[in-house]
Amino acid sequence: MTIRPLPAYEKSVFINCPFDSEYRDLLLANVFSVFAHGFVPRTARETEGNPEPRFSRILATIAASKYSIHDLSRSRGEGDENLARLNMPLELGMAAAFRFERENSDRPHRWLALVPEGYAYQSFVSDLSGFDPARHDGSVSSIIREVSAWLRTQDDVLDPVPSARNILESFPSFRNELANLRIEALEKETWADVLLAASKSVPRP
């Protein structure tokens, strides 16, 4: 059995956002943007099938990533019972703790929070005030724009990278590549398929 080498810490970006079909394009926009900037997108999905509890797997993946992106735009009441999904804020809390604990160490952690446009976040997660969260309008283009602007200021990014506009223009190709891989796999899409599709369609700088 071969052991897969793990992605380098400095190149790993943990993505914390919903995985449901309604959010799917925004998840893919996050993944594609991270990939286009030369980083490895990482999520809980890469360890699907691992017997460890999900909480432990997420904690380990964030710990192994220098960067993380957390979309809190869906942390609101949903469904008949108006319940909010709190996994995203919980995972942001993990990243914030890593940032605090590792400040000035040789394994720092940097995170970005994505919130809905406007200032509503100051009501539901007021502690983010002062951390300059990125606001998006729920569109693929605004996710790409915000994630790109943040990644370009991070130490381990290359310069140049593809422009945000080029990433957006290549996004449909990425979706098509992924759809083809999903058909080949009889609708059983894996995290590897997502990364492979990104590698085939990512624009060059």
Partner 1 sequence: MRVFISFAHDDTNLAAQLEAALRRNNIDVWSALDIAPGEDVTQAIDKKSASADGYVFLLGPGASENPQLRAEWRSLLRNDWESKKPLIPVILLHGDVDHDLPPFLRNRRAIFTTNFDDLLHEVRYLIEHPTETVDHTHEQQSKAEWEKRRNELKEYALSLKQEDGAGGQAETQ
Residues at the contact surface with partner 1, assessed by CB under 8 A: 2, 4-5, 7, 11, 16-20, 35, 38, 40, 44-46, 48-50, 54, 85, 87-88, 132, 134, 145-146, 148-150, 152-161, 163-165, 185, 188-193, 195-196, 198-199, 202, 204-205
Q: How far apart are CA 145 and CA 134, in angstroms?
A: 10
Helix (H, G, I), strand (E, B) or coil at 67: strand
Q: In the numeric block, which tokens belong to residue 143?
A: 């996710």
Distance of closest approach, residue 97 Cβ to partner 1, in angstroms? 19
Query: Which lies closer to partner 1 via its Cβ, residue 127 or residue 132?
Result: 132
Q: How far apart are CA 75 and CA 86, in angstroms?
A: 6
Query: Which lies closer to partner 1 via its Cβ, residue 108 or residue 124?
Result: 108
Query: Which lies closer to partner 1 via its Cβ, residue 98 or residue 167?
Result: 167
Q: How many CB atoms lie within 10 A of CB 196?
A: 14
Distance of closest approach, residue 189 Cβ to partner 1, in angstroms? 7
Spatial strand order of the sheet with 134-136 comes to: 40-42, 12-16, 67-71, 110-116, 134-136
**Pairing of the two strands 40-42 and 67-71:** unpaired
Distance of closest approach, residue 63 Cβ to partner 1, in angstroms? 18
Distance of closest approach, residue 204 Cβ to partner 1, in angstroms? 7
Query: Which lies closer to partner 1 via its Cβ, residue 44 or residue 140?
Result: 44
Distance of closest approach, residue 157 Cβ to partner 1, in angstroms? 5
Query: Which lies closer to partner 1 via its Cβ, residue 44 or residue 96?
Result: 44
What residues contact residue 75 under an 8 Å CB cut-off, 6+ apart?
84, 85, 86, 88, 89, 124, 125
